[in-house]
Structure 1
Amino acid sequence: MKVSKYNFIKNINGVNVFFNAKTCALAVVDDNFMNALEDIEANNFIEDNYDKKLIEDMKLSGCIIGDNVDEVRQIEFYRNLSKYDKSSLALTLAPTLACNFRCTYCFENHGNKVMNEKTQDEIISFIKNQIKNIKNLSITWYGGEPLIARKIIYSLSEKILALCEENKVIYTSFIITNASLLTDQDILLFKKYKIRGAQVTIDGPKDVHDSRRISCNGKSTFDLLINNVNKLLNNGLDVIVRINVDKENINRIKELIFVLKDRIDKYSKLKIDFGKVSTFTEVCKSIEKSCFDNEEYADLLLPLTDNIINMGFDVNKMNIYPQVKYNYCCADYINSFVIDVDGFIYKCWNHVGVKEKSCGHISEMEKITSNEYLKWIQWNPLKNKKCKECKMLPICMGGCPDLVIDSKNDPVCDIVKYNLDNIIKFYYEKLKGVE
């Protein structure tokens, strides 16, 4: 028996709190636990000297493992199992890149085109070819502003739903929208076509939001979005309000939270998600000085999250509590694709519409093995010595691949590297509060 390389012990006011990055188990531990850990590390462990339940719990948490266990190889095994799993298909579809907003930090090049019938038919043909081999299909509607092409969304949804029902495939769908074009009819059709909810971005109180998420007609959209978030929630749909955070709006976030609590009818059902503004493409390079780096952002995330929890909102716990990441995101899964208005395929959302970043075309999906595709699938932080030896590996997995995949630089450590100690303390305080 030996000790996991992914153990963390933090002493908080004389109390030992344990966390394991491979299982994400968190627990307050006593002297018996610490003594057992010490004995195992010193090769002095005699199992009969300790309570059986304690040892079983230590094994279950991942704290102690068998002598013949190679944790890095295990991680690589489960990473490959996840990466190459074809039982689920995830498609992000952009029926248009047109948008009625001109957000100051947007990374996209917009146009006025909407997806033609030929491309729609090719998407349906691809799903037909896959449907008998999958158990789950998820669609995320994306853009531009996808509701500019609402007819295409509903037409494709009807055909995709029919295929899923015929083949007993579990179907889920979600939309990322600025919500300014949302109508009562859309809400009815969301329900009909199983679009279970929407992500809507609101970047601050009225003056801040309207100065960052600028409508093409110059009109304020803040009050309209508040009303439409209420409509969605009141009709039983899920809503994530995303707040994109940078140095320009950080000091006004708390003010927005108070406004949301005051004006959202079912605010306890509203999930709030914070996003770090980043300069992913040349289109948004002008706002680079306003962006936080991962270390700076890590210092902000916990106080922001604590505030919204204390005010009774839901929170995307994946954004704060560490999760095991055998793969960092959908971009490096074999069966996840982003498809733009012209039918070009991408692995990362950040590249939609940038044709030189395309992996190929939907019409040739079955034979896509381009270098652009393979570099995402073959991206492996375990090939990097720093990552392979890092105690954070299971909860970081090399960070966002898009930041380094076209360079020879080391992976960019994820935010969790910089605030894990604070996260452990944060959740210890929460656990202590419910004792």
Structure 2
Amino acid sequence: MSICLEGLKEAHGRPWPKELITLGPEESAQQMVLRRIQELSDSGPQDPFMLADLDMLASRHQAFCQALPQVSPFYAVKCNSSPWVLRILAALGTGFDCASQVELEQVLGLGVAPSRIIYANPCKPASHIRYAAQHGVQLLTFGSEEELTKVAQHYPGARLLLRLRTQDSQSTFPLSTKFGASLEACGHLLTSARDLGLAMVGASFHVGSNCQTPQRFTQAIADCRCMFEMGRGAGHDMSCLDIGGGFPGTEDSGPKFEEMARVISAALAQDFPEERGVKVIAEPGRFYMESVCTAAVNIIAKKAVLEPGGSQKLMYYLNNGHYGSFRLGHREPVPRVPIVVKEFCSEPPLFPCTLYGPTCDASDRLFLEDVWLPELDVGNWLVFPSMGAYTSSMSCSFNGFLPATICYTMGPQLRCLGVGVEEEAGNLTLI
């Protein structure tokens, strides 16, 4: 059964898929990927696509809440701002971490209460601050005296969290070189906030996206306890702690989420026990979204070259690349090895393969390193699981190659959680 949706438009001016595919009890999202590949292979055009398993999104939400029951998740909209993703999470009751006026508009447009939103970008345009003020989004983050002055001018009624700089050099995507105040600077900033008549309500930090060292949370939480003491000494009512993001999206490498959750829970029990009444929130993005989406790409050209010594190397040119779903591939420590959609009579030999995107830019590579694959043909498909984080939200149409189409599936998990679809309006609701 499919449910038709009317009046929805995707970014880049392309229409949304007209159907939300509902899976039967014996169907899986991965089976749907292979079925879609077969349909495109039979009738073309063989354009790239992504399939988003909305049941997986609900499962990730459940996993987060079970592992960290004392922490309220505020989903990082920048990770994947698809209306379907935001609708599902709104129906499941998450909060939202927004970084701009556009993201605020998206979330507020779903009917989410302003109290469920944190405007967590520490460096905000004045016009975006005024928009937050006009629409009642009170919780804002800052990390400098200059930002304090700006907030005092444009939103004196804001409730502020001071962002603390962390040691995040071992995270895949560090953030502290750009954001956050040192612990030594916090006393002055807290006093300045008081002198400006601003309400300081707590602290925030971010250990970097895809954190590789869970113990960074321990130190950051301990530093926030020190900041709370400074804040209370300056006369502030410190009542909210934002532990940011950094949670792993998959279990393939690096620390496991369960291990990270145990470290965080122990640190919170030590420095912010529940009896103190401090509200603890987090900003998960990658953890929620990475495993939700699968990318399917087609080989549009190939070239075989002889390396020194006579060994063969293959170059595959794909219809999705760095300017599409693989923008972060250059920054990932290990290249992703795709699933090959082709039958072989026996175990094929593997060759070093360079994976290029479709544009005329020579740096349009999926990864900086080669991957080992069998020899394939033009028209064959490659499937990349766990492609939901920072993919569609960072895609562009360079050289006229449009971002991959996204298909959405809903299965028994969401229906068991009581999420239903109003067919005429295309809205997700709790039933």
**Shorter-chain TM-score category?**
0.3 to 0.5
Instruction: Give the TM-score normalised by structure 2.
Output: 0.35
- Flag the structure with higher helix content: 1
Q: Which has the higher contact order (CA 8 A, sep 6+)?
A: 2
